[in-house]
Amino acid sequence: MENNEGMTVDRNHKLLGEYVISLTKPIMLDKAVRMAEHLNSMSSNYKQEMFIVKHASGPKSNMGKYIVLRKLCLGDNVDFIDYPDKC
């Protein structure tokens, strides 16, 4: 098995700029939205959203569970990349 320890995302990474890094465990929608809005307001790139909310897989319920995702950026550590099914 290949060891990716220490590797970082470069300009050739096929998912560069996609929302693939999960920042939260599944949480309620209102909390996820507040968190994403707060993180976007702190982002250094104000022209483009860096954080979004996506529905998380799991048991279906009226409330549902959601996660906050961040776009993959140059220099991100490969070990921390998450690949949600519905990015």
In the three-class reduction of DSSP (H, G, I as helix; E, B as strand; rest coil), residue 57 is classed as coil
**Within 10 A of 18 (CB to CB), how many other CB atoms are there?**
14
Q: Is the separation of the CB atoms in 7 and 69 below 8 Å?
A: no
pLDDT, tens digit, 9 for 90 and up, residues 41-73? 987 766 778 999 998 865 665 567 899 999 988
| H runs (alpha helix) in 1-87 | 29-42
Q: Where are the domains of the chain?
A: 19-80
How confident is residue 86, by pLDDT bands cut at 50, 70 and 90?
Answer: very low
CA 57 – CA 42 distance, rounded (Å): 28
Q: Give 37 or 47, the one with higher predicted confidence.
A: 37
